[in-house]
Amino acid sequence: MGLGFFVRAELTNAQRAKTQKLLSEIASTAGKLITDPIFKRLITIRHGNTGAAISLHPAEEDIEFYLDKGGSLICSAKTSNAGPGYHAFAIDYVDSIAAKCGFRWLWNDATGKIGDETDFHELRDFSKLQDEMLRLWQAIASKFKDEENYSEIMLGMPLGYPLVVQEFGAMTQMGFRTQKWFTEVANSNLAALRQQAADHFPWWERELNTTFWKNAGLVLAWTKIPWHIPDSEEERELFQLALDCFARARTLDPSCKLPELAIKELESLAGSLGRSEPPKREGIGYYRYPMCFNLSGKWKIDLPGYYYHELQDEGRTEAFSFEGRALWASSLRVQSKDGRTKSAAEMVKMSEVSESALRFEEGMRCGWAMIEALTEEGQKIFRLTGRMAVPNTLCIVTIEFVEPADRDWAIRTWQSLRCTVD
């Protein structure tokens, strides 16, 4: 469920002959149109041989530009995650890009398949646009208000975002939401919803006002900040961007209420260079909580969200680490030559495993692990080497830890490996 727009531009023969140049011009123009120095840091722009993508706000999906099979230029965007202010801005933004790059968008046609789903481009009625967004919000709340497990609901979150594994409520760009929240939204009238809207839609009004900047900081703090000491310039810039959004909100309205504890924590982490400590277990930011991370091959694993995370071996291995703990995971899928399904026990070669190995069987999952003590570069460490499988699919994991007390953590983490079976 969502709202947005889908438009098409007919290109000249000269433009069709040099589409890469046009896409490069679109990307360049998109950056130049944003002049506010903090807003400029919120956006990211990418382009290649076949398209361009613009992220205008951390709460919303990319605005995408691409060429269809007929040679027309297509622009599509979802806007209802961020809200009506974003929708109105994005429409003016893509029109400005088109004007500066020498083409025009077709906002309606006989098929009815293109255009603005809210009619804002034609009517320019911002209040009506807000009402459209409120009705969608209410419809979504009505759909989920009777769910039994809200901890598995994610509203407007990026595709593939890790799920918080503890039951705090549904995850949104602006924080956890409980059953009470869903029920109240589902049962409220539009006037009542308008009073709450800026706490749900990050970009509710048209202006880049106090609420816009406060909410931009909140979206970054909830969904992007890893809540550990930054280990790269990119991470340090992310921390500073969140702080600058909150600072802009305070400059515009010194009396506005900001998340002071989170701001102090951000400032402390951004200015630290020493050993990372686990963040507080409660507060703003999903990555401070235990999370279920997606691995390759449809595997998942439970780890604290604040662990450092990177891809290694050209993306084949997921690596996680945090002060005395490290983990590497990769997976493979095997199909027998005769097409027969290989059982989980066959995949991990359970019949060949040492009697001293730890064993695990639950449902379709089966695995083993061995723990050994080693000395590397003069330091004693412990290493768990493990396997976990479901039919035809295997996950290989190595977990290292320094403290003997972390043995149970390593075993629990290995046992948390699970796979979505086709």
Give the fold, CATH level 3, of 4-123: TATA-Binding Protein (3.30.310)
Q: What pLDDT does residue 422 have?
A: 61
For the chain, give every residue range classified as CATH 3.40.1000.10: 291-419
Rg (CA), the chain: 25
**Amino acid type, 244:** D
Alpha-carbon span 272 to 379, nearest angstrom: 26
- pLDDT, one tens digit for every residue, the chain (422 residues): 799 999 999 888 888 889 999 999 999 999 999 999 999 999 999 998 889 999 999 999 999 999 998 889 999 999 999 999 999 999 999 999 999 999 999 998 867 788 999 999 999 999 999 999 999 999 999 999 888 777 789 999 998 999 999 888 899 999 999 999 999 999 999 999 999 999 999 999 999 999 999 999 999 999 999 999 999 999 999 999 999 999 999 999 999 999 999 999 999 999 887 778 999 888 999 999 999 999 999 999 999 999 999 999 988 999 999 999 999 999 999 877 777 888 899 899 887 888 889 999 999 999 999 999 999 888 899 999 999 999 999 999 999 999 999 999 999 999 999 998 76
Instruction: Tell me the sheet residues that pair with 36.
Output: none
Is residue 238 helix, strand or coil? helix
> How do beta strands 379-390 and 365-376 pair?
antiparallel
| Spatial CB neighbours of 264, under 8 Å, sequence gap ≥ 6 | none
Q: Please check whether residue 21 is in contact with residue 94, taking contact to mean a CB–CB distance below 8 angstroms.
A: no
| DSSP assignment of 145-162 | TT-S-GGG-EESPPTTPP
Is residue 253 helix, strand or coil? coil
For the chain, give every residue range classified as CATH 3.30.310: 4-123
Please state, in angstroms and as integers, the Cα–Cα distance from residue 57 to each residue in 110, 138, 358, 407, 419, following that order.
Answer: 32, 23, 47, 42, 32
- Name the CA dihedral angle for 279, 281, 282, 288, rounded to a multiple of 10 degrees: 60
Options 3.40.1000.10, 3.40.50.1360, 3.50.50.60, 3.40.190.10; CATH of 291-419:
3.40.1000.10
Instruction: Tell me the sheet residues that pair with 170.
Output: 177
Q: What pLDDT does residue 195 have?
A: 94
Give the CA diameter of the chain: 74
349: part of which helix (H) or strand (E)?
Answer: none
Helix residue ranges, H only, 227-340: 233-252, 260-270
Q: What pLDDT does residue 340 have?
A: 83
Q: Please check whether residue 174 is in contact with residue 200, taking contact to mean a CB–CB distance below 8 angstroms.
A: yes
Give this prediction's pTM: 0.94
Sign for the CA dihedral angle at 83, 84, 86, 87 comes to: positive
Please state, in angstroms and as integers, the Cα–Cα distance from residue 203 to each residue in 60, 218, 263, 274, 275, following that order.
Answer: 10, 12, 21, 36, 37
Q: What pLDDT does residue 334 have?
A: 84
Sign for the CA dihedral angle at 240, 241, 244, 249 comes to: negative
204: part of which helix (H) or strand (E)?
Answer: none
Alpha-carbon span 158 to 44, nearest angstrom: 15
pLDDT digits (tens, 9 = 90+) for 223-274: 999 999 999 999 999 999 999 999 999 999 999 999 999 999 999 999 887 7
Helix residue ranges, H only, 156-289: 179-187, 190-196, 210-223, 233-252, 260-270
Q: Exposed/middle/buried for 131, CB within 10 Å: 0-12, 13-18, 19+?
A: middle
Closest to 285 in 3D by CA, of 310, 263, 267, 308: 263
63: part of which helix (H) or strand (E)?
Answer: strand 63-67
Alpha-carbon span 313 to 299, nearest angstrom: 18
